[in-house]
Amino acid sequence: MPRVKRSVHGRKSAASSRAGQGLLGLKHSTYRQAKEQVEHSLAYAYRDRKNRKREFRRLWILRINAAARQNGLSYNQFIAGCRKAEIGLDRKMLADLAVSDPEAFAAIAEQAKSRSPAERFLGRSAGFVGRRS
């Protein structure tokens, strides 16, 4: 069988070696495995950029909830009270205040508590039993 001469291999290795630098094993030297790993890495990076936003939102909500409960409110009562009081801070800033400046967070919690819709339910009727099962 005659030898096939073409320059595809040179182009392949140049493209894969730049993106696959730092990978372990054959993934940094073998074109097929490097290409596959680079594609997977890009997919993971795209997915995890979305997941990072979710994880930070969860962390902020946990911190706000803990600080709100120290001030006598649940998370949803605190957020609803902040909306009623037109406090324009987002969860990231509220979580930072809860950690770094608890006194300022307590002042915001007092404003939220005064506007909280939970105030209506403090004088419950005698027939109230609790949560429905």
Per-domain residue ranges of the chain: 55-117
The pLDDT of residue 119 is above 60? no
Cα atoms in the Cβ-side hemisphere of radius 13 Å centred on 53: 5
The whole-number average pLDDT for the span 101-123 is 81
Query: What is 55-117's CATH number, 1.10.1900.20, 3.30.470.10, 3.20.110.20, 3.40.50.300?
Result: 1.10.1900.20
Chain centre distance of CA 68: 20
Lowest mean pLDDT among 16-20, 84-88, 105-109: 16-20
Per-residue pLDDT at 70: 95
- How many Å apart are CA 99 and CA 106, to the nearest integer? 11
Q: What are the residues whose beta carbons fall under 8 Å from the beta carbon of 113, sequence distance 6 or more?
A: 71, 72, 73, 77, 81, 119
pLDDT single digits (tens) 41-95: 899 999 999 999 999 999 999 999 999 999 999 999 999 999 999 998 999 999 9
- How many Å apart are CA 28 and CA 12, to the nearest integer? 12
